[in-house]
Amino acid sequence: MVNIMEAKGERFGPYGGRYVPETLISALDELGAAYEEATADSVFCEELDLLLRDYVGRPSPLYHASRLEASVDGAPIFLKREDLNHTGAHKINNTIGQALLARRMGKHRIIAETGAGQHGVATATACALFDLECVVYMGEVDVDRQALNVYRMELLGAEVRPVGSGTRTLKDATNEAIRDWVTNVETTHYIIGSVVGPSPFPRIVRDFQAVIGHEAREQMLERTGALPAAVVACVGGGSNAMGIFHAFREDDGVEFIGVEAAGEGLDSGRHSATLAAGRPGVLHGAMSYLLQDADGQVAPAHSISAGLDYPGVGPEHSYLKDIGRARYASITDKEALAAFHRLSELEGITPALESAHAIAHVLKIAPDYKERGSLLVCLSGRGDKDVDYVARIEEGEHYL
């Protein structure tokens, strides 16, 4: 009897799996096998390491944000500066890895979904570097609020396809990317941008992002002689959070705190706090927490930050929540905007609106941690892409 259990896919407790059309099963198998092979191959690993060093600019610095810390009279705050990577966010760690993998599999066409546009830009960048055809799906709402990134993707030679169905944000861009992949699976690799989607994507993306935590752990030990009391990161799909958490998974004394987008407030119904307010379900190929209504229809998410505006979350986060290894807080649009200003004014660093959620939460909890050690925050991206949008909001334009 042939083993048909290959379709089961890897799980994190009950979460994850491969809830996809049959057409994709062989491609997911192929991807899993190619990934195992590649990561066991020292030539592949060395090429990736060199690119991360010379092209992405790794290791990214660890910065002690002393003025921010003084302003709340709390624990020492350290920022892991993923905003200083080439293209301005952590997303490039994953796209370089996956583009190398695509090349190895002989796939010359790349597709991706994007919300804030950071993953789209990082994918377009990797495709320019490796001479791969690149198509990026982006919701119409996001095309509008992240216009700068649309131009950047086009400049890099990618084709941006606006998605006008459903909520016209990241969720629908992902649907459309999956539809493209089902259609062109034989020639195309889908570079998914977060720790979501069918197995093996959540693990592959986590592993490519794990460089964040590996560096940060060493840097913390070197700088402070101790591990941080807590590691804090924003969570939409959750790739920068898994990336920074993973290296600390055996360090029981290190707390993991994910920060979701509370939008206009958890009670308003307009938020993206999947782990706080969702329940387990299936979307985009995986079982995980999901914002949904009583009929099992996916509920529209909302966040001022396009990158967090997503009703699902990576399956490993669902598992970390259930077993109590991580806890998940949420920050409103207003609090995130305040943190966007505060970090700019106090440290001269303008964070991406996504990362501003993590900063806002750290400002809240820093006084409580004063006697307990330091706080390590993943500053996942820089805010240049958001400046125009925030200015429009502050001039009184209603935001999307």
Partner 1 sequence: MPSISERFAERRSEGRSTLVPYVTSGFPSRSATLDVLAGLAEAGGDVLELGIPFSDPLADGPTIQEATFRALEAGMTVEGTLELLGEFRRESDTPIVLFSYLNPLLRYGLEAFLADAEQAGAQGLLLTDVPTGTDPLVEDAILTSGLDFIRLIAPTTRPERASAIGKTGQGFLYYISRTGVTGAREALAEGLEEEVRALREVVELPVAVGFGISTPEQAALISGVADGVIVGSALIQALDEGGPEGAGAFLATLRSAMDRVANERELS
> Taking a C-beta distance cutoff of 8 angstroms, is the pair 261, 303 a contact?
yes
Which of 250, 294, 324, 395 binds partner 1 (CB under 8 A)? It is 294
Catalytic residue among 80, 82, 107, 113: 113
Q: Does 1 bind partner 1 (CB under 8 A)?
A: yes
Which of 148, 277, 282, 387 binds partner 1 (CB under 8 A)? It is 282
In the bound state with partner 1, the residue whose beta carbon lies nearer, of 27 and 376, is 27
In the bound state with partner 1, the residue whose beta carbon lies nearer, of 203 and 382, is 203
CA gap 85, 95 in Å, rounded: 13
In the bound state with partner 1, the residue whose beta carbon lies nearer, of 184 and 224, is 184
> Taking a C-beta distance cutoff of 8 angstroms, is the pair 62, 378 a contact?
no
Instruction: Determine whether 330 is an active site residue.
Output: no
CA gap 204, 369 in Å, rounded: 33
Q: Does 106 bind partner 1 (CB under 8 A)?
A: no
Interface with partner 1 (CB under 8 A), residue total 45
Q: Does 18 bind partner 1 (CB under 8 A)?
A: yes
Q: Minimum distance between the CB of residue 190 and partner 1, rounded to whole angstroms?
A: 12
Q: Does 22 bind partner 1 (CB under 8 A)?
A: yes
Q: Does 367 bind partner 1 (CB under 8 A)?
A: no
CA gap 268, 43 in Å, rounded: 52
Instruction: Determine whether 380 is an active site residue.
Output: yes
| Options 116-124, 173-181, 210-218, 219-227: segment touching partner 1 (CB under 8 A) | 173-181
CA gap 46, 44 in Å, rounded: 6
| Options 21-29, 57-65, 221-229, 337-345: segment touching partner 1 (CB under 8 A) | 21-29
Which residues in the chain belong to E strands, given as ranges?
11-12, 15-19, 62-64, 77-81, 109-114, 133-139, 159-163, 188-190, 230-234, 255-263, 279-283, 285-290, 326-332, 375-379
Which residues in 115-212 belong to E strands, given as ranges?
133-139, 159-163, 188-190
Residue 28: count of CB within 10 angstroms of its CB: 21
CA gap 102, 141 in Å, rounded: 30
Instruction: Determine whether 288 is an active site residue.
Output: no
Indicate the angle between helix axes 91-104 and 25-39, nearest 10 degrees: 100
Q: Does 33 bind partner 1 (CB under 8 A)?
A: no
Amino acid identity for residue 104 in this structure? R
Q: Does 168 bind partner 1 (CB under 8 A)?
A: no
Catalytic residue among 60, 69, 82, 91: 91
Q: Hey, which residues between 297 and 356 contact partner 1 (CB under 8 A)?
A: 297-298
Chain residues in the site for partner 1 (CB under 8 A): 1-2, 4-9, 17-27, 165-166, 171-172, 175, 178-179, 182-186, 280-285, 287, 290, 292, 294-298
Which residues are known to be catalytic? Answer: 91, 113, 380
